[in-house]
Amino acid sequence: MIDELLAEAQTKMDQAIQHTVGEFGTVRTGRANPGLLQRITVDYYGTQTPLQQIAGFSVPEARLLMVQPYDKSSITAIEKAIMKADLGLNPSNDGNVIRLVFPQLTEERRKELIRLVRHLAEEGRVAIRNVRRHIKDDIESLEGDVSEDDVRRAEKNLQDMTDAHVGKIDELLHKKEEELLEV
């Protein structure tokens, strides 16, 4: 029973890290990254469709992202969706592809993005701590059914797991901050 709870904690903490990685991917750096367009949906024949289902992406240069629609008639709808997403990018198209040029980040904007990334990392840490708290409560409720030593051992394993996952988020945060500060 304790092993199942610890396995559940591991899974949920891993999911919290994956979510945080996904959130970090949506923060724009000075470098072109297709992950930035992940949440954009396009009004495609009356249906909200994720952009990656109707277009392909390529990064020919460090600060240029090209979006190539599979259906050329959807190019204006894609362009409107990108502009509506308010990413600070101006799409330009030549009838076949949409080019997104990533401007250099100003020092002020870099600091703003670092604050945002730190906030996202803290949300990830909080999610991991919430998983720990819930699983710890579940483990403590087993105290009558299993020995006190097993409960204490499980709590220690849970804390070690929590520390490792929080450390992973800190490591991801450090990498993202370096990426943002890169000129």
**Is residue 75 predicted with pLDDT exceeding 70?**
yes
pTM attached to this predicted model: 0.72
Averaged over 110-136, what is the pLDDT?
A: 93
Q: List phi, psi (to 5°) of 24.
A: -60, -35
Which class is 34-101 in CATH? alpha beta
CA 135, CA 4: separation in Å to the nearest integer?
10
Where does the pLDDT of residue 157 fall: very low under 50, low under 70, confident under 90, or very high at 90 and above? very high
CA 50, CA 88: separation in Å to the nearest integer?
19
Instruction: Report helix angle 2-25 to 107-141, nearest 10.
Output: 170
Task: Give me the sign of the Cα torsion angle 43, 44, 48, 51.
Answer: negative
CATH 1.10.132.20 in the chain, residue ranges = 2-26+106-181
Least reliable range by pLDDT among 17-21, 143-147, 169-173: 143-147
Q: What would the DSSP string read from start to end of 133-147?
A: HHHHHHHHHTTTTS-
CA 10, CA 29: separation in Å to the nearest integer?
31
**Is residue 152 predicted with pLDDT exceeding 80?**
yes
- Are 70 and 39 in contact, with CB atoms under 8 Å apart? no
Whole-number pLDDT of residue 183: 63
**29-73 residue pLDDT tens:** 767 778 778 888 999 888 999 988 999 998 888 888 899 999 888
Whole-number pLDDT of residue 26: 76
CATH 3.30.1360.40 in the chain, residue ranges = 34-101
**13-30 residue pLDDT tens:** 999 999 999 888 877 776
Average pLDDT score, the chain: 89
Over pLDDT 90: what percentage of the chain? 46
Whole-number pLDDT of residue 110: 85
Q: In the chain, count of helices (H) and strands (E)?
A: 5, 6
Which of 2-16, 28-42, 82-96, 135-149 tops mean pLDDT? 2-16
Where does the pLDDT of residue 171 fall: very low under 50, low under 70, confident under 90, or very high at 90 and above? very high
Q: How far does CA 42 lie from the centroid of its chain?
A: 20
Whole-number pLDDT of residue 142: 87
Strands 64-69 and 55-61: antiparallel
Which class is 2-26+106-181 in CATH? mainly alpha
